[in-house]
Amino acid sequence: MGQMDGMVAIVTGASRGLGRAIAKAYAEEGAGVVISARSQSPTGLAGTLEETANDIRDAGGDVFAVSCDVTDEAQVNDMVRKAVDQYGRIDVLFNNAGMMVLGETIMDIDAPRWEQLMRINVNGPYLCSRAVLPTMIEQQRGSIINIGSRMATDPNQGGGVLYSASKAAVHMFSYCLADEVREHNIAVNILSPGGLRSEGSAAIPWTQRDWHERVDPSAIGPLAVYLALQDASTFTGQLASRFDFGTTWGPSIEP
């Protein structure tokens, strides 16, 4: 028996890296997993939805893949509708789809690139959360997990004006949404995974300086499973850092 037997989870940005790892972790725990991503990476990174789906099916998991651009409201609504048609419910939304622009100044970043990253990192969680909430409210239970970052709160982490601003927006969006939906027993939390050895990170030259300190995305699986199991009565409106898992939050830690 898995911890997520009978649950249904949506994972965005699931074609590679953290999204793929979380989708696999949820499936291993018994959830029906809806995976989504754009049909092609705008940055040209390797990895496809089909590969993630095959990994899950090969391990005996239940997966449903839907191509979706999280910046497009019509595509997001269609993805959620297909998820409900397929499984009849939505218990978890893991808003993983994102984009990084690091090491560039405001003068390096033109308006179209600023708007593109904000649409993905900020509008994406907004559109996906808004689309799943009617189902979660009807169920009177759910868990929404947004990806945060140390760069949202510490300018010395090197996030720069664009990425750090987008993640700070995600943090405040999550805190406010948690209060807004608390009465419906829906948890909203921020997961800050720290440095990862992912395809996206590998493409950033300066990440090589701390590559030995980074972890494989699969190490985040237990954290994401724990958050998926929460509701507003147990754990919500929190910034959950990987570095504090098992000490200030997680199994056996009193809320």
Give CA–CA dist 72/69, Å, rounded: 6
Q: What number of helices (H) and strands (E) belong to the chain?
A: 8, 7
Is residue 87 part of the annotated active site? The answer reads: no
Residues 6+ apart with CB under 8 A from 97: 12, 13, 19, 36, 37, 70, 120, 124
Residue 126 DSSP code: H
Considering the candidates 26, 163, 175, 226, report the single residue annotated as catalytic.
163
3-state secondary structure 48-96: CHHHHHHHHHHCCCEEEEEECCCCCHHHHHHHHHHHHHHHCCCCEEEEC
What is the crossing angle of helices 221-228 and 17-28, to 10°? 60
Phi, psi of 224 (to 5 degrees): -70, -35
Active site residues: 163
